[in-house]
Chains A and B, each alone.
Chain A
């Protein structure tokens, strides 16, 4: 958390006491993508839509539509690399962020 972002956040008066989360499913709003130091990149020459990456992703960061792999949901992808490691075609590589 960068200090410059603190001012945009809720104050002690605005948040629920006891760190209670009163809204179900609100983890959707908590974007964990900025934790990432490596980003997954898809090689469109190699991929075969097997969706192994979708099965293995511990978050919900593989965009799958009508049985097709359409890319990564980077707002929540933490860059763990599990998709790349398990891809049977080596169609996903991890590239350093911010380089």
Chain B
């Protein structure tokens, strides 16, 4: 069925259809609608979820970790300062291998205080062991919320997943979206059975134990391995989701890239806007294309490397500033390109911070800069300098 819905409500709808065991959350713009809508479903008895209203994001994530350790399918949502207030517990969730899924309605970090979209919340958390998936539109926000659980809970993965949607642009804007039947969603995610539940009194276990110099490194290595293993699982889950929905997703999604000489690499809703820029430039006779990064952690190095083969130049667009260095994805792409015999010229564009509008004309300029050789290594798109 097709409906008009905003991204936050779409995530809440996905959760309603899954009916997870526990949701512990604290409201923060632009995520608030997710937990507001979902708490309606709880209050109205439409789900059996235990909804815990925490007094902070640090507590919300701590409750989620406890619930997930007890074997509950656990969800939460946050944004911006909520992500950073969760900081300590984010690493704990990943390190303890609890398959929590969390929606993040991406919003800038303070200061200056700003409620609008950029990726500085999730990107700052990129090294903590969470799988990071991004949505281009409301449909994907809904689909990702469902797929995230199946990825996180897979026995070869057992990592928490952040599924991201651009604040306001996707969280609040109403788009047309196709829903799945509730029984289809339930069958797809299946019943979650934790192998090591704290509530299993027949097999008492300890979660969250300490490691000294002797085993800490080995447990961290396991995280690196699990992340690499997740690539195959994510591909399989996308494939299976395609068979129930007709919507086929991939780790990276190239657009008009086959014969392109100049490509951009971009995350989130801008991946949609940039298709318009590509189309207009194609009409003008330029061989351009774009690559959408749907899964950022684990970074799909192998696939990226293949897509970059033979290109003249590639612009990496980061909606986050790793202050003191380049944009974070630029580093990932450069590390990928060293595998190539003839790597494309790589440039970095920092764009859209604090919700700065990203019009098609600006994105066309990125390509024209590449074509005309006018790029610096790191460029700031649309900032008044």
Q: Which residues of A contact B213 (CB under 8 A)?
A: 1
Q: Mark A6-43, 1 if CB is under 8 A from B, else 0.
A: 10011110011111111010000000000000000000
Complex contact B219–A19 (CB within 8 A)? yes
Complex contact A18–B218 (CB within 8 A)? no
Write the nearest CB–CB distance from A16 to chain B, whole angstroms. 8
Q: A20-B206, A20-B207, A22-B205 are in contact. Are A15 and B215 (CB under 8 A)?
A: yes
Q: A1-B212, A11-B218, A12-B225 are in contact. Are A17 and B206 (CB under 8 A)?
A: no
Query: Per DSSP, are chain B's interface residues mostly helix, strand or loop, or mixed?
Result: loop
| Interface size range on A against B | 10 to 19
Complex contact B209–A21 (CB within 8 A)? yes
The CA of A12 and the CA of B225, in the complex, are separated in Å by 10
**Partner among A11, A15, A18 whose Cβ is within 8 Å of the Cβ of B207:** A18
B205-234, CB < 8 A from A: 205-215, 218-219, 221-222, 225-226
Write the nearest CB–CB distance from B374 to chain A, whole angstroms. 48
Complex contact B97–A9 (CB within 8 A)? no
Q: A9-B215, A15-B215, A19-B96 are in contact. Are A24 and B225 (CB under 8 A)?
A: no
Complex contact A20–B205 (CB within 8 A)? yes
Q: Which of B97, B98, B226 has the most CB of A within 10 A?
A: B97
The CA of A9 and the CA of B211, in the complex, are separated in Å by 13
Known contacts A17-B158, A20-B207, A22-B203, then 6 further A-B pairs from the complex at CB < 8 Å, ordered by chain A residue: A1-B213, A12-B222, A16-B196, A18-B158, A20-B96, A20-B196
**Chain A interface (Cβ within 8 Å of chain B)?**
1, 6, 9-12, 15-22, 24
